[in-house]
Amino acid sequence: MSISLEGKTILITGASSGIGAATAKACAKKGMRCVITARRKEQLQTLANEIGDSCSVIVGDVTEDGFNQHLVDCAGDVYAIFVNAGHGLDQNTLQFNSTQFKELFELNVFAAVELAALVAKKMVEKKSGHILLCASCLSKFSTPSHGAYCASKSALEAMAKTMRMELKPSKVFVSSVHPIGTTTEFFDESAKRSGMAQSDFASQTPSWLMQPPEKVANAVVRCLKKPKSEVWTSLPMRLISTALGALPRASEPIINRFS
């Protein structure tokens, strides 16, 4: 059975570019009303102008005290939320910086779970809704120099599993989204945050492990119509991640070849 999305509202964080922006466009095409949020006002407004009257903008930082509650109050009657805001960090253990580590977890985990919990309260009252948390294929295994990011996405996936069990009796769906490498500004922004001029991740990654943000957006829409526990855009990577988790010792030389 397919759920009609026409007229339903979705709240999307981290929507000023990349996966968030692509998802807003894809949802709007299916007749959804989009409430988009991020810190960058100009990019959000440009996106809202492109989508049209069915899109509204709330500018702010989800890690600021009180903003998530403000976001939920202003968004109104939300059927779905795509918790997508997040950033990376290119930093190995010997370069460990506790401030940067905490900032990453504040955004990728603490703010994400807080917002999801606030929205869940309203969904439980209505006994209807869908929460999607943007994890990563790296929530299943780790790579060198990206331990903080991998750890944050593993934590977010764990919370998604817990929320799914807790909210199922209230008919609230919870899904984790697991993109592979996506052609967005994410990697360059991560490099800058880590003191690097630019990221060479995309150039070192095989083409079959990279995808456009629209592929993730379309997968999110399909999950909204037919809810499932996990959203993957690459069957090979889903199988590989399972194998890597089952064979940790054998997996490390393979991971190092692509890192």
The DSSP-derived string for 162-218 is HHHHHHGGGTEEEEEEE--EESSSHHHHHHHHTT-S---HHHHS-GGGEE-HHHHHH
Mean pLDDT of 114-142: 95
| 146-165: pLDDT as tens digits | 899 999 999 999 999 999 99
pLDDT at 199 over 60: no
| Whether pLDDT at 28 is above 70 | yes
13, pLDDT greater than 70? yes
- At 237 the three-state DSSP class reads helix
Q: What is the pLDDT at residue 33?
A: 97
Q: What is the mean pLDDT of residues 103-125?
A: 97
Catalytic residue list: 136, 149, 153
Residue 251 has pLDDT above 80, yes or no: no
The fold adopted by the segment(s) 9-257 is Rossmann fold (3.40.50)
Q: Is 110 exposed, middle or buried (0-12, 13-18, 19+ CB in 10 A)?
A: middle
Per-domain residue ranges of the chain = 9-257
Does 52 score more than 80 pLDDT?
yes
